[in-house]
Amino acid sequence: MALLLDWLSTAGILFIVASGLLMIFGVMKIINFAHGALLTLGGYTAYVVTQLDLAPWLSWPLALFTGILVGMLIEQFVMRPLYKRPLDAILATWGLSIIIGQLIVMTFGREVKFADTPLPGTWSVAGMDYSAYRLLLILVAVVLCAALTALLSGTRFGVKTRAVIMNEQLASALGINAGRIRFITFSLGAGLGTLAGTLITPLSSLDPAMGIPWLVTAFMLVMVSGHSMLSLMVTCVVLGACQMLVSTYTTPVLGGLSIAVLSALILRIRPKGFAYG
């Protein structure tokens, strides 16, 4: 039972962390390397909220708002000139992550920090006590997945976005403002990144480099899953299980590597990942 809950919450956390990256990759075919730094930024938002003695819940909307704001700035000033050079766009986002990371270090220092949990204690599931916050994250992941799927497939914005994904030239010719779609998706993706950072912070400590290990994992999950939120969820559940089994039965070190290595092998055998098939 504990194993099952571990598995589901691991998958949920993976989904939360990767969804913002997928949002941006899906529309722009650009990997946002600043995602790791955005996670860190979200984590420090939670820390600020804790320091100010505000209700820990407040960190969620605050992080989302900060991320969207940062995303808007990045899109306007850095990404816009680089859409024709996708590999350079990746590099520029890496440079941005250095900048964000250093600004965080200069503001908060290098020391490990902690943030309050919005939901302390445990809940009892089938006669067993389990961390309430981890259970909450499963719920958050499901809600997030449903909301994003609804946004991308049910709304006008979603239809336009899919039009841009499929054929940007045609979409532009039909009067869809592809630039604005990109602007919105990038900002939203960045916001999801910081939100994810806030959400995962109570599970561990906080330091300026906390985003980097997550970045690679999230990156591989997105590459394997293609461009739908549902397939990302499936990927997270499958690979989350692998990670958990490997960590439980061998060493956590191997567990941490399992997602990256497995994804690389999956992509070598099925270059298009799970999405088409």
What is the C-alpha to C-alpha distance for residues 149 and 158, in angstroms, rounded to an integer?
Answer: 9
What is the C-alpha to C-alpha distance for residues 78 and 222, in angstroms, rounded to an integer?
Answer: 23
Tokens matching residue 208: 């300026």
Question: Which letter does DSSP use for residue 76 in this model?
Answer: I
Least distance from another protein to the Cβ atom of residue 78, Å: 6
Of 61 and 86, nearer to another protein (C-beta) is 86
Of residues 9-68, those binding another protein (CB under 8 A): 31
For residue 247, the tally of other CB atoms under 10 A from its CB is: 18
In this chain, which of 78, 165, 238, 275 binds another protein, going by CB under 8 A?
78
Are residues 194 and 45 in contact, defined by beta-carbon separation less than 8 angstroms? Answer: yes
- Contacts with another protein, 183-212, as mask; x by CB under 8 A: -----------------------------x
In this chain, which of 11, 92, 218, 236 binds another protein, going by CB under 8 A?
92
Q: Does 129 bind another protein (CB under 8 A)?
A: no
**122-125 and 128-131 as β-strands: parallel, antiparallel, unpaired?**
antiparallel
Taken in order 189, 192, 193, 194, the sign of the CA dihedral is positive
Q: Does 267 bind another protein (CB under 8 A)?
A: yes
Scanning 3-11, 48-56, 87-95, 241-249 for contacts with another protein by CB under 8 A, the matching segment is: 87-95
Q: Does 85 bind another protein (CB under 8 A)?
A: yes
Are residues 263 and 221 in contact, defined by beta-carbon separation less than 8 angstroms? Answer: yes
What is the C-alpha to C-alpha distance for residues 144 and 17, in angstroms, rounded to an integer?
Answer: 11
**Interface with another protein by CB under 8 A: which residues?**
31, 78, 81-82, 85, 87-88, 90-92, 94-96, 98-99, 101-103, 105-106, 212, 216, 219-220, 223, 251, 253-254, 256-257, 260-261, 263-264, 267-268, 271
